[in-house]
Amino acid sequence: MRQGYTTAEQSRAAFILRRDIRKAHVDVRFNARVAADCWRIIDAIENGEVDIEPPEDAIPKATGKRKSLDSQRGTTRQMARRGRK
């Protein structure tokens, strides 16, 4: 299944598989019923019956701006002392 799929598509397919199995079965240990449903979902994904494209709002948008470290320099953190108080 890995061939031809991007990392995001593989992740989305695994999410869909887990979500659908948990909806269908109370006991999700890998028994014959769960295995049959897993293969059914995997076949549906490979045949294009299930959309594995991540939703548009889940894709981070690159703005090209980095946060400045100057804003973080104003605060100093105190180190915890080790040993007895």
Residue 36: its pLDDT value, please?
A: 92
* b/e code 5-20 from CB counts within 10 Å (16+ = b): eeeebeebbeebbeeb
Instruction: Say if residues 54 and 14 touch (Cβ distance below 8 Å).
Output: no
Q: Which domain holds residue 37?
A: 1-55
In a domain, 70, yes or no: no
pLDDT in tens, 28-79: 888 899 999 999 998 998 888 888 776 666 656 666 665 555 555 545 555 5
Task: Please name the amino acid found at residue 43.
Answer: D
In a domain, 79, yes or no: no
Structural domain count, the chain: 1
Maximum C-alpha span of the chain: 65
Q: Please tell me the pTM assigned to this model.
A: 0.56
